[in-house]
Amino acid sequence: MNMNFSDITAATPTPETLAAAYGAINARLDAGDIPGAVADWEQLRRETETWSSLTHLRFEQDTKDEAAKAARDYMDELNPTVTSHLVAFKRRLLNHPDRGAVQAVTGAHALRLWEMDVTTFDPIIEADLIEEAKLDSRYTALMASAKIEIDGETVNLSGLAPFTQSMDRDTRHRAEQAKWAFFAEHAEEFDEIYDSLVKLRDGMAKKLGFPSYTELAYRRMRRVDYDAADVARYRAQVLEHVTPLVAKLMEARRVANGWDKLYFWDESLTDPQGNPKPAGGHDFLVEQAQKMFDGMNAELAAFFRTMNENGFLDLKNRPTKAPGGFCTSFPTAGMPFIFANFNGTHHDIDVFTHEMGHAFQNYQSRDQPGFDYLWPTMESAEIHSMSLESLAYPHIHLLVGEAVADRYRRMHLTESLAFLPYGVLVDHFQHEVYANPGATPAERKAMWRRLERMYEPWCDYGDLAHPAKGGYWQAQMHIYGSPFYYIDYTLALCCALQFWVKSRADYDGALRDYVALCARGGEAPFQALVKSAGLISPFADGALADAVRQAESVLSLQ
């Protein structure tokens, strides 16, 4: 494991090299050599993925670098060609006369995933896909255009975050007023973009033969072992068990702060003494994170050391770096990479507790035989990241300091619980939206407000007119750009909370199960992975019961 990040290279594919590579792979398959053809195809996919991860990363690391930008644009242009080759070859394997021999090489799960993939793409929707991407970037550009004046400063929407979390109630209120004034000012454009997206997606689904976009979206997300009815049952569990718990937490916060009413702008101040922050900057945190992993598990510790020493971390904020944080990977090297922008808030800690979970899983499953098994589907991938956040609790004083460690754990647990009703609300709303694609923008806002009252009955927008009329969801990027994705976070969180419960009784046992789950990568569908880690499927009754009971006692709500 001596590979350095700077050693990783990848050739740039062209339409000609791709055509030649697929020509050779197809010829091998025609000659009856299934294992050889699949192995060559696997290698090609790994090389293409390493190239695309590197190209994406270099652009994010310096958005002003002209060469990196040009490479990124070229990749976006080549993408439809890559997809159509991929889909065509998956179709060939699925339709192979000796399906048993194909399955012996690829595994049954890969075939199920490809069966989903091939039904979601057809050249008849290519122009619609391009239009969908354009509408999504219009939304992103509109969001990025926000210039909000507050306390003599001009900030964008993410720059507003510290104001909305301020200790001063009036500052939080003014920050929310300024934010929602921006949405009210552009209300028509936010409505129009979404209305176009809904109709476009509904149209694509119908061209592909689905009754509505919901069925197509589930297939795009590769959900092979659950359906919309399972998800509806899960939402009902959150409504029954978690909504009342969060209502109690909000009421306790109101009383603790001596407010006569809890308003929307009070919801982001989780800790009345101010949300805990990391105890130091970049170098301090990297050093302390190593100590934390040393205390958790030998494999995690060794892996983090390699990431750090061999250049697979880029965590400091720089002026030309793209915002946000993510984990990506280079399958030809078997190593992941973590990108972040430290800003001194508790989000810096997420790099070590969340992104490291993704990275560790990817590394643990690097020797999985199939490309499709290197990462699992998203609801499973977020189990690895979210579970590590709570498995880090006993060591978190190393990052935040002894004095606030307990307050950090309370804040994290409270925010996790409060996320569940919101997450299922986002999901429920989208099911209604795509079941009624002809609804007007005003009808959609009424749908949201009705569901919001159901899942978050404490939510009081006071004088914030835009969200009070049902427009809150327009600030939730996933609803525009990643439809139906949001439930994945809540399904994973249900599993992460179960790991938390387990770790309170048997910390080493919980970590062992966690490490074993990471090594399985994406070799099985969601519910099979969950079961193998000794967890209850979120779709089964009682999946949230223990976590809710223990949270009530830890947070002294009983």
- 49, 42, 65: which is closest to 11 by C-alpha? 49
Closest separation in Å from C-beta 322 to Zn ion: 17
- 533, 526, 488, 519: which is closest to 361 by C-alpha? 519
390/400 Cα distance (integer angstroms): 14
- For Zn ion, the closer of residues 242 and 386 by Cβ is 386
Count how many Cα atoms sit within 13 Å of the Cα of residue 492 in the half-sphere of its side chain: 24
**527 touches Zn ion by CB under 5 A:** no
Strand pairing report for 326-330 and 153-155: unpaired
Q: Under DSSP, is residue 65 helix (H, G, I), strand (E, B) or coil?
A: coil
- For Zn ion, the closer of residues 182 and 526 by Cβ is 526
Closest separation in Å from C-beta 340 to Zn ion: 12
Closest separation in Å from C-beta 452 to Zn ion: 25
Span of 169-177, 182-190, 382-390, 456-464 interacting with Zn ion by CB under 5 A: 382-390
- For Zn ion, the closer of residues 243 and 385 by Cβ is 385
Closest separation in Å from C-beta 139 to Zn ion: 21
Residues 6+ apart with CB under 8 A from 317: 341, 342, 343
- For Zn ion, the closer of residues 434 and 485 by Cβ is 485
Site string for Zn ion, 327-366 (x = CB under 5 A): ----------------------------------------
- For Zn ion, the closer of residues 385 and 430 by Cβ is 385
Element spanning 527, H or E? helix 526-532
**Distance set, CA 69 to CA 74, 83, 136, 322, 339 (Å):** 9, 21, 19, 12, 18
Closest separation in Å from C-beta 357 to Zn ion: 8
Query: One-letter amino acid identity for 13?
Result: P
- For Zn ion, the closer of residues 405 and 426 by Cβ is 426
Span of 75-83, 130-138, 268-276, 378-386 interacting with Zn ion by CB under 5 A: 378-386
How many residues line the site for Zn ion (CB under 5 A)?
Answer: 1
Span of 237-245, 377-385, 427-435, 457-465 interacting with Zn ion by CB under 5 A: 377-385
Determine contact, residues 342/282, Cβ cutoff 8 Å. yes
Span of 21-29, 44-52, 198-206, 380-388 interacting with Zn ion by CB under 5 A: 380-388
3-state SS record for 396-410 = CHHHHCHHHHHHHHH
Span of 17-25, 27-35, 383-391, 498-506 interacting with Zn ion by CB under 5 A: 383-391
- For Zn ion, the closer of residues 423 and 471 by Cβ is 423
Site string for Zn ion, 131-160 (x = CB under 5 A): ------------------------------
3-state SS record for 464-475 = CHHHHCCCHHHH
DSSP character string of 289-356: HHHHHHHH-HHHHHHHHHHHHTT-EE-S--TTSPSS-EEEEETTTTEEEEE----SSTHHHHIIIIIH
- For Zn ion, the closer of residues 28 and 56 by Cβ is 56
**503 touches Zn ion by CB under 5 A:** no
Closest separation in Å from C-beta 375 to Zn ion: 11
- For Zn ion, the closer of residues 357 and 467 by Cβ is 357
Within positions 60 to 99, which residues make up the interface with Zn ion, using CB under 5 A?
Answer: none
**166 touches Zn ion by CB under 5 A:** no
Span of 67-75, 379-387, 496-504, 527-535 interacting with Zn ion by CB under 5 A: 379-387
Two tokens, residue 503: 């770790």
Give the number of residues written for the chain: 558
- 97, 116, 119, 104: which is closest to 29 by C-alpha? 97
**377 touches Zn ion by CB under 5 A:** no
Closest separation in Å from C-beta 517 to Zn ion: 15
Two tokens, residue 344: 């001194």
Two tokens, residue 177: 């007023």
Residue whose beta carbon is closest to Zn ion: 385
- 557, 555, 503, 556: which is closest to 534 by C-alpha? 503
80/74 Cα distance (integer angstroms): 11
**385 touches Zn ion by CB under 5 A:** yes
Give the interface with Zn ion as residue ranges (CB under 5 A): 385
